[in-house]
A = this chain, B = another copy of it.
Amino acid sequence: MTSEELMRRAVARAEENVRSGSGGPFAALVARNGVILGEGANEVTATNDPTAHAEIVAIRAACRTLGSFRLAGCEIYTTCEPCPMCLGAVYWARLDRLYFAADRADAEHAGFDDGFIYRELAAPPNARSLPMLRLLPEPARAVLELWRLTPEKVPY
Q: What residues make up the interface of A, taking CB atoms closer than 8 Å to B? A: 3-4, 7-8, 11, 14-15, 18-19, 21, 23-25, 44-45, 47-51, 53, 56, 59-60, 63-64, 66-71, 77, 79-81, 83-103, 106-107, 109-111, 113, 116-118, 120-122, 130-137, 139-148, 150, 152-156
Contact = CB atoms under 8 A, between A and B. Distances in A.
A131 B91 contact: no
Contacts of A83: 88, 92
B121 A14 contact: no
Contacts of A148: 109-111
Chain copies in complex: 2
Given A83-B88, A98-B132, A117-B88, A60 B69 contact: no
A34 B54 CA distance: 33
A60 B51 contact: yes
Contacts of A100: 132-135
B134 A101 contact: yes
B109 A140 contact: no
B68 A48 contact: yes
A86 B117 CA distance: 12
A136 to B, nearest CB: 5
Contact of A48 (B69, B84, B135): B69
Contacts of A156: 24, 44-45, 50
A142 B133 CA distance: 41
Contacts of A96: 131
A54 to B, nearest CB: 11
